[in-house]
Amino acid sequence: MNLAVIKYNSGNVCSILYALERLGKQAKVSDVPDVIRRADKVIFPGVGEASTAMAYLKERKLDKLIISLKQPVLGICLGQQLMCSFSEEGHVDCLGIFPQVVRKFNSQTHKIPKMGWNDIYNLKSSLFTGINESSYVYFVHGYYAECGVNTIATTNYIRPYSAAMQKENFFATQFHPEKSGDIGHKILENFIKM
């Protein structure tokens, strides 16, 4: 199997590669369009800031490449947010795969960014085959995607929001499956088996 991890100015690539190695898989980290286009599966990770990440993607024409992909694509954390239509982080238009707006958490009573384990529920996709409702996964983020027609898992911190999304071949998680123990391992395995 040919796996590609999209290289751009975000962190988190090493932890994705280690998680894939635990599944017995190797991946190419690349920003070369032909390498990404030829992959059987593509992972679009991210830890960073939305407007600078979008600028980097546009500069290298990776924005157009990503939305043109036909194979299964998995966005993670910032990757999910960049797949939405707009982010309040830097007030930037994003890839527009999902019509949701990414909002900034605002609370006087909760710590922001949200860091730690939280449960996911209303699971609606083959991405969650073998995963029980209210399983716990690991989140680190200060912005969130609203719930909408593409929401395939929900979580609640301050308010309910999209823990995961899907539209056609595009999947995305706000949480980090690569840091979510056995549950995350199973989710990555489900994605690879698609």
Of all residues in the chain, the percent with pLDDT exceeding 70 is 99
pLDDT at 46: 85
Q: Is the pLDDT of residue 20 over 90?
A: yes
Instruction: Look at the block and give the residue holding tokens 């690991």.
Output: 138
What are 31-40's pLDDT values in tens digits?
999 999 999 9
Q: Is the pLDDT of residue 116 over 80?
A: yes
What are 139-152's pLDDT values in tens digits?
999 999 999 999 99
The mean pLDDT value for 84-96 works out to 98
Q: Which of 149, 146, 191 minimizes the C-alpha distance to 171?
A: 191
CATH number at residue 100: 3.40.50.880
Burial of 76 (0-12, 13-18, 19+ CB in 10 A): buried
Residues catalogued as catalytic: 77, 176, 178
SS (H, E, C) the chain: CCEEEECCCCCCHHHHHHHHHHCCCCEEEECCHHHHHHCCEEEECCCCCHHHHHHHHHHCCHHHHHHHCCCCEEEECHHHHHCCCEECCCCEECCCCCCCEEEECCCCCCCCCEEEEEEEECCCCHHHCCCCCCEEEEEEECEEECCCCCEEEEEEECEEEEEEEEECCEEEECCCHHHCHHHHHHHHHHHHHC
Does this model's pTM top 0.75? My answer is yes
pLDDT at 182: 97
Q: Is the pLDDT of residue 8 over 90?
A: no
Work out how many domains the chain is built from and give that number: 1
